[in-house]
Amino acid sequence: MKKPNIILALICIHIFLTVAISQTAKFDIVAYTPPAGFAFEKDADSLRFTKESGGSFCVISLTRSVDGVGDPVKNFELLWKGMATDGLNASAPQRGKGGEKNGWQAEVGVAGFEKDGLKGAALLTTFTGNGKVVAILSITNSESCQQDIEVFVDSVKLPQIAAPKASVAPPAAAPSGDAAKLIGRWQRSSSSAPSYGNTASWGTAGYTRSRYEFNSNGTYAYTERTFRMTHPVIFIVRESGRYSVNGSTLTVNPTKSTITSYRKAGGGDALGTVAATQDRKLETVSYRFTFHYFSGIDEWNLVLQADSPTLRDGQFSGNTTFNNAWYFDQKYTDTDLTAVRIF
């Protein structure tokens, strides 16, 4: 018996155009680079790129922008229900932080699905901004499609939304590096998406947000929140102490530091009951600090440098503008990292 074409049965494609050359194209308000080697179909509401080899398949769908409800999380939940739950019988998604793209707020989730004998993983990425929401739904049963999906999502460009200006002085009055410029909140964020078919990478997919708050009376507070998609708990670090400045050297001297693990409420990115709390090692560190203006993103950063990675700050940033450095900005510092839910 001839094996049925499961991709054709799933998305009912009648006419395909094979994408052989990667070149920038546009659909609705979205610019993108088509994935090479995928079949292509377009209608009024979406684009679909498909690839099938043997028993493996990959489908990437980009939807036309629609009016959103304003809240990025709610937009994601509504689209997940319509596209993944109702459309594919997908289970509840493991959530991760997609971050920001061109000023649009991204949300991401992944889960297994099974429909009409077809099994695989479904990944939904949504972008919310300017009152609109755009969605990319990818489904596959093969890790060989992982890079194609990641490259396509990375290629997407949306109409730029102006990011909130940093509260540090503009270039004409650049910070001089003295202690007064430190006062306030400084934050850095990192996130990663899961790799399909590689369950080990799902364990590290998520985000970490780290924040220093320096007060004018010489005290400081450090807060950190870490979420991983497949980890059963969310970690919150709370630290306080004193700091001092001598020239371009900042010394942080903690007096109390704890790490608390919270069970996930509802299995997602929300704090449930406390699983455990323990003290952390008090780590006094002297940093070389400066303020650097990145003209490309119109943003001041507080740059901290040390001779080696620290327990508090972790590994150095991949940004090599400064050696052995961590970079902090003043965006989204009003969010309470210890709240039940921050997104």
pLDDT tens for each residue of 286-305: 999 999 999 988 899 999 99
Residue 149, H or E segment: helix 146-155
Query: pTM for the complete prediction?
Result: 0.50
Q: Are residues 133 and 234 in the same domain?
A: no
Does residue 163 form part of some domain? no
177-203 burial by CB neighbour count: b if 16+ within 10 A, else e? beeebbebbbbbbbbbbbbbbeeebbe
Reported confidence tier of residue 116, pLDDT bands at 50, 70, 90: confident
Does residue 343 form part of some domain? no
User: Per residue in 233-259, pLDDT tens?
Assistant: 999 999 999 999 999 999 999 999 999
Q: Are residues 185 and 145 in the same domain?
A: no
For 89, the domain range is 6-155
Q: Are residues 227 and 270 in the same domain?
A: yes
Does residue 208 form part of some domain? yes
Last residue of a domain, one of 94, 125, 155: 155
The total number of structural domains in the chain stands at: 2
Does residue 337 form part of some domain? no
Residue 328 has pLDDT above 50, yes or no: yes
Q: Are residues 284 and 312 in the same domain?
A: yes
Q: Are residues 106 and 219 in the same domain?
A: no
Does residue 161 form part of some domain? no
Q: Are residues 140 and 222 in the same domain?
A: no
Residue 3 has pLDDT above 90, yes or no: no
pLDDT value of position 198 = 52
Residue 71 has pLDDT above 80, yes or no: yes
Residue 7 has pLDDT above 50, yes or no: no
Q: Are residues 85 and 196 in the same domain?
A: no
Residue % of the chain over a pLDDT of 90: 55
Does residue 1 form part of some domain? no
Last residue of a domain, one of 128, 155, 182: 155
Highest mean pLDDT among 87-96, 261-270, 275-284: 275-284
Q: Are residues 143 and 184 in the same domain?
A: no
Task: Give me the mean pLDDT over the 178-189 stretch.
Answer: 90
**Cα angle 341, 342, 343; round to 5:** 100
User: Per residue in 202-236, pLDDT tens?
Assistant: 445 788 999 999 999 999 999 999 998 878 999 99
Q: Are residues 194 and 295 in the same domain?
A: yes
Does residue 299 form part of some domain? yes
pLDDT value of position 172 = 38
Task: Give me the mean pLDDT over the 88-103 stretch.
Answer: 82
Question: Beta-strand (E) ranges in the chain?
Answer: 17-18, 25-27, 30-32, 39-42, 46-53, 56-63, 66-67, 94-101, 104-115, 118-129, 132-140, 184-192, 206-214, 219-228, 233-246, 249-264, 271-279, 285-294, 299-305, 325-328
Residue 96 has pLDDT above 90, yes or no: no
Reported confidence tier of residue 103, pLDDT bands at 50, 70, 90: confident
Last residue of a domain, one of 120, 155, 190: 155
CATH number at residue 67: 3.40.1000.10
User: Per residue in 150-172, pLDDT tens?
Assistant: 888 888 899 988 655 555 544 43
Half-sphere exposure of 274 (CA within 13 A, CB side): 7
Q: Are residues 112 and 227 in the same domain?
A: no
Q: Are residues 308 and 190 in the same domain?
A: yes
Task: Give me the mean pLDDT over the 177-190 stretch.
Answer: 86
Q: Are residues 232 and 263 in the same domain?
A: yes
pLDDT value of position 20 = 39
User: Per residue in 15-68, pLDDT tens?
Assistant: 233 343 457 889 999 999 998 889 989 998 999 999 998 888 999 999 999 998
pLDDT value of position 49 = 93
Does residue 201 form part of some domain? yes
Average pLDDT, the chain: 84
Task: Give me the mean pLDDT over the 261-272 stretch.
Answer: 91
